[in-house]
Structure 1
Amino acid sequence: MAELLREQELEYLIAAPEGQTLEWKSPRIHPRDLATTLIAFANADGGRLLIGIEDDGTVSGLDLVADRQQVERLLRAAYEFCTPSVQIEYQFAPYRGHQVLVIDVPVSPRVHNHNNGRVYLRVLDRDQPLSADETLRVAFAKGQASYETQPVRGATLEDVDQDLIQEYARLRGFDQPAERLLRGLNLLVENTLTVAGALLFAREPGRWLPRAGVDFLKFEGTTIELGEAFNLVKRQELTAPLPRLIRRTWELVGTFVRTRRWLRGLEMTEQPEYPDFAWREVIVNATAHRDYSITGTAIQVRMFDDRLEVESPGGLPGIVTVENIRRRHFSRNPHIVGVLKAWHYIEELGFGVDRVFREMEAAGAPPPLITDDGGVVTVTLYAVRPTIPEQVDLNEQAVRWAEMGLNERQMKALIHIAQHGPISRKQYCELIGVSRMTAYRDLADLVKRDLLQVRGSGRYVHYVLAEKV
């Protein structure tokens, strides 16, 4: 049963724009038209209808006595115009002297059609009619989507991370025990966690769902080399409940996202090699929308000097294709997506991919490359290559460095780091053409002078410009 809405919560919903999971309706709407949105929500991510609100946002409300017959007709729409019937929950919420009919539609494991013969899917803020081919794709994806609702044998309430479930409750403003909360989210069936429940809240999801985490690989260069040229410099397997898995993956990848710096006179200009939103969103999408029925295969994040690749098990879901991905949306795992929204990992559904493209374009990077071979979806972000202005003047800075007693090797390295980002000892050797011992002495001297700072440890050590530079 949906939580009873307080007037303050309803006010927040009325102020929010209509979108993937929210729609306003006039109390005068015909039940046949209401059924279109009920079907579209049920076939997509579920949603909430507020009946008693005009298109301009004015709250006209319903009179529970005078409008009783209209209310009954609207509620019957879920089975009179929908095949099979759409499951709904409803309540009347007070708002400034009015009554608003609130109808909640859960995501359905089945495909519903209208008695006019059409099938509808919610896409952003529209109820989109589907072609016969698209309907078949949705029906197939619904079969995949049901995987997240299956119970996980042996995973019980005792396996739940209590701190994490209470964190979720605080974020949502709920005050109820974990068991009731999980049942309300359809993540606990009897005393058994569902696949979505185990992935989201079990202390050790990998105990039942192997390889449901992230494999991170960092390569030096732009290709994968083996043998003597082996260039894998970092590999780490990440496993955790999904809200923490996303956070830890962000933290790990963030340590390797370089910030390009170059000098404009004596002022430093900075630009990250990937827009922050873009790479974070790609990781969230892989985590939220991968096909978890494909066991034994983790999400793989591969970083090269010129690109970031995120590989996710399973093809694109539902009606989404490589060609329409910027304007189409379908959730393979709607229960997982719904919970992750509490942490704001997922904002308004359907806009993220398009924004990734726009952010990359604004940064001057090539558009993302998305491929789908039916079993794996790979998203490639290409690093931003900043255009260094011709009028950059390093003369004054070089004079100051020379007065400090720096040698030409060190000055060349500082300029290179300012323009291209961090450098390792091995890269210093190759750039300057010196031995490892000379590189060590030069770099150690620059650190001692507070011109460089050391990042990482062991074989992962690299050098960045100190803040004062």
Structure 2
Amino acid sequence: MPASPLTPDAIRQIIKEGPGPKTALLGARASARKIAEAMAALANAHGGLVILGATKARKVPGVGDPDVARELMASAALLPSPPLILPLPQLIELDGKTVCVSQVPAGLPHVYSVRGQYLVRSGRETRPLMPHELRILLLNRGEASFEAQTPHGATLEALDPDRVRAYIHLLKRPPDEDPNDLLLSRGCLAETDKGLRPTMAGLLLFGKHPQRWLRSAEITGVRYAGPAMSDDFIREDIQGALPDQIRQAEAFVNANMRRGMRIRGFEREEVPEYPISVVREAIVNAVAHRDYSIRGDNIRILMFSDRMEVYSPGRLPGHVTLDNIVEERYSRNEAIVQVLSEMGFIERLGYGIDRMIRVCEEEGLPPPEFTETSAGFKVTIHSGAEALVGAGPPANLYAHLQLNPRQEKALAFLQKNRRITNREYQTLCPDASPETLRRDLADLVDKGLILKIGQKRATFYILK
């Protein structure tokens, strides 16, 4: 297995930055077991470099005998179970000192242990995998994935026949084909010692009550009034089969995003603050590629005044990293991805990340931001409302508060101008008496939507 060329300047910079999630620095006297533990920890994470002859203090004493060091690194790779098949270690000269560098590729197919201990690279250290982390890693890299499991007690009665018939009709299958044969071929059913049983994928896609079998298989949508979380929000918990969740989540975003006018050439057109195709791609990716084995967490769509965040449980799968996410492809849930693809939701060949970036660029928006958290993956889409003419708050934002039209005008004015005076409110609503407008503003203060600043003629109001 050939190694990517490493230059002295690149290694010098890596050592200068110190140990990290993808870098293990070991002194020249490190044992073969210590080296093997660092290699296995990187292999169980996202790969990286083991540098022998450099210390955690970022010093470079080098190795004594370069050939012996290279042989030590090569033999250390064979100690984990199963053995690591790595590129040959490279010797790098740094200011008269030699370091030995071993590259651990990302996306290796197994889970590796050293003398029965499973390790992972976390921050600057190598540490043991926690039981739940090991379980998730085994599922992600094992032959049997979580979606292929058959929950205890689930029978064919748990599937909705209408959903199955609609799927068969969509595929234009022969009318005499046995639905169970099709579902079996798609990984939605499995043969067990008790006969055919629905898999987790089948229950999530076609189940009558999917949340009975996996409570966390839902989406929470929240729309906040400002750029941060606050007590003023609209929330919707979206359940049901995955195709329905996708449609309902897209409808939630559509109902809660702002719209305005944009002038192109000599024509005016209505434009939403987020490109619909980008929103759809983010939601579908979250549903299709989330880690359903993580319980107690769900997909979250958080809408703020300046951005939208779509979070899904589970870090990036397989060999996919933030660096190669545009080019690389890997499906954690192959059965779910195939069925959603056949239903027209996604293209099986890719995540659509490149399309999201391209559409945002065409719309004059910053590219989406992709972030890995400690236990999940987040996509941030930036709002384009500031560039739109007459983009007020979404129609549904304050619907639950039973505001009158004058108060909605005041809040729209505040969204755009950040503050409003009694005189400006009178200009907005010339047909209302000053006392009516005073009561309107006092009511908004009581509801916790705005704050009153100043006294008498110097009074003005801001959003809380």
TM alignment of 1:79-94, pairs within 5 A: none
- Distance in 2, matches of 1:387 and 1:253, equals 19
- Distance in 2, matches of 1:264 and 1:321, equals 38
1:218 pairs with 201, 217, 223, which one? 223
TM alignment of 1:203-352, pairs within 5 A: 203-225=208-230, 230-232=231-233, 234-262=234-262, 268-350=268-350, 352=352
- Distance in 2, matches of 1:145 and 1:437, equals 63
Determine which structure has greater relative contact order: mean sequence separation of CA pairs < 8 Å that are 6+ residues apart, divided by chain length.
1
SS at 2:378 equivalent: strand
2:187 aligned partner, one-letter code:
N
1:287 aligned partner, one-letter code:
V
Contact 1:261 1:420 in 2 (8 A): no
- Distance in 2, matches of 1:383 and 1:354, equals 19
Number of equivalenced pairs? 287
- Distance in 2, matches of 1:149 and 1:211, equals 17
Q: 1:271: Cα distance to partner? A: 2.3
Q: Which residue of structure 1 lines up, in the alignment, with residue 189 of structure 2?
A: 188
Q: 1:420: Cα distance to partner? A: 4.8
Q: Which residue of structure 2 lines up, in the alignment, with residue 42 of structure 1?
A: none
Contact 1:138 1:319 in 2 (8 A): no
TM alignment of 1:437-452, pairs within 5 A: none
Structure 2 residues without counterparts, runs of 5 or longer: 1-81, 88-102, 112-136, 399-404, 414-419, 433-446, 448-464
Counterparts in 2 of 1:379 and 1:150: CA distance versus 1, 3 Å: same
- Distance in 1, matches of 2:312 and 2:181, equals 32
- Distance in 2, matches of 1:369 and 1:247, equals 23
Counterparts in 2 of 1:275 and 1:319: CA distance versus 1, 3 Å: same
- Distance in 2, matches of 1:440 and 1:237, equals 36
Contact 2:318 2:332 in 1 (8 A): yes
Contact 1:320 1:328 in 2 (8 A): yes
Q: Which residue of structure 1 lines up, in the alignment, with residue 22 of structure 2?
A: none
1:170 aligned partner, one-letter code:
H
Contact 1:214 1:237 in 2 (8 A): yes
Counterparts in 2 of 1:186 and 1:180: CA distance versus 1, 3 Å: same
Q: 1:323: Cα distance to partner? A: 1.4
- Distance in 2, matches of 1:144 and 1:212, equals 22
Q: Deviations over 1:179-204 (max 9, x none)?
A: 22222222212332111111111111
Q: Which residue of structure 2 lines up, in the alignment, with residue 379 of structure 1?
A: 379
SS at 2:152 equivalent: strand
Q: 1:168: Cα distance to partner? A: 0.9
Counterparts in 2 of 1:261 and 1:143: CA distance versus 1, 3 Å: same
SS at 2:293 equivalent: coil
Q: Which residue of structure 2 lines up, in the alignment, with residue 428 of structure 1?
A: 409
1:155 aligned partner, one-letter code:
A
Q: Which residue of structure 2 lines up, in the alignment, with residue 134 of structure 1?
A: 106
Contact 2:257 2:393 in 1 (8 A): no
1:295 aligned partner, one-letter code:
R
Contact 1:429 1:435 in 2 (8 A): no
Q: 1:258: Cα distance to partner? A: 2.2
TM alignment of 1:120-131, pairs within 5 A: none
Q: 1:143: Cα distance to partner? A: 2.7
SS at 1:136 equivalent: coil
Q: 1:132: Cα distance to partner? A: 5.3
Contact 1:151 1:192 in 2 (8 A): yes
- Distance in 2, matches of 1:327 and 1:443, equals 59
Q: Which residue of structure 1 lines up, in the alignment, with residue 167 of structure 2?
A: 168
TM-align CA RMSD: 3.4
- Distance in 2, matches of 1:172 and 1:332, equals 24
- Distance in 1, matches of 2:198 and 2:391, equals 52
Q: 1:259: Cα distance to partner? A: 2.1
The runs of at least 4 consecutive aligned structure 1 residues that moved more than 4 Å come to: 137-140, 262-267, 385-388, 419-427, 434-444
Q: Deviations over 1:430-450 (max 9, x none)?
A: 525459997996799xxxxxx
TM-score, normalised to structure 1, is 0.55
Structure 1 residues without counterparts, runs of 5 or longer: 1-110, 119-130, 389-415, 445-458, 460-469
1:154 aligned partner, one-letter code:
G
Q: Deviations over 1:23-72 (max 9, x none)?
A: xxxxxxxxxxxxxxxxxxxxxxxxxxxxxxxxxxxxxxxxxxxxxxxxxx
1:162 aligned partner, one-letter code:
P
Counterparts in 2 of 1:138 and 1:309: CA distance versus 1, 3 Å: farther
SS at 2:366 equivalent: coil
- Distance in 1, matches of 2:241 and 2:430, equals 45
SS at 2:364 equivalent: coil
Contact 2:107 2:320 in 1 (8 A): no
Contact 1:282 1:379 in 2 (8 A): yes
- Distance in 2, matches of 1:366 and 1:159, equals 44
Q: Which residue of structure 2 lines up, in the alignment, with residue 200 of structure 1?
A: 205
TM-score, normalised to structure 2, is 0.56
Q: 1:387: Cα distance to partner? A: 4.3
- Distance in 2, matches of 1:441 and 1:144, equals 66
- Distance in 1, matches of 2:423 and 2:141, equals 61
SS at 2:324 equivalent: coil
Counterparts in 2 of 1:369 and 1:164: CA distance versus 1, 3 Å: same
SS at 1:153 equivalent: coil
SS at 1:370 equivalent: strand
Q: Percent identity among equivalent residues? A: 36
